[in-house]
Amino acid sequence: MWEADLLGNLLGLLDGFVSHGGRDGWVWRLGEEGIFSINSCYSFNEKMYLGDGEVSVGEREVFRYLWKGQAPSTVLAFSWSMMLDKIPIRVIPALRGVLDVEGLNN
């Protein structure tokens, strides 16, 4: 249900938005003067996923490796999902009838 959390965050950011019918445009709020940079994106993601607390050196290295990885995009996307614990490993076999649904509660 993490998608629902992301949607809630987005709706919170959009709360109070009023369109003035003027010229439309994009602004990158994390960068200087509203301009996108890889560095600002990396810094944001590092803070969001690793936080400000105690994170092991290994976790930081995995994050850097995935960010700068030379693997195919599908491998990197899977790796990001795995790092963020967003892979429903036990749900898929249950849907296919390989794992008893009762086993999901253990």
- Contact by Cβ (8 Å): 49, 84: yes
**According to the model, what pLDDT value does residue 102 have?**
63
Structure tokens at 39: 């560095």
What phi-psi label fits residue 54: left (phi over 0), alpha (psi between -120 and 50 degrees) or beta? beta
Which spans in the chain are helix H? 2-14, 38-50, 57-67, 73-83, 91-95
What residue segments make up the domains of the chain, in order of their start? 27-56, 69-106
The pLDDT score that the predictor gives to residue 67 is 79
Report pLDDT for 71. 85
What are the residue ranges in the chain where pLDDT is below 70?
1, 52-53, 88-95, 98-106
Residue range 33-62, pLDDT digits in tens: 888 888 888 888 888 877 766 777 887 788
What is the rounded distance in angstroms from the CA atom of residue 68 to the CA atom of residue 64? 6
DSSP-derived 3-state class of residue 100 = coil
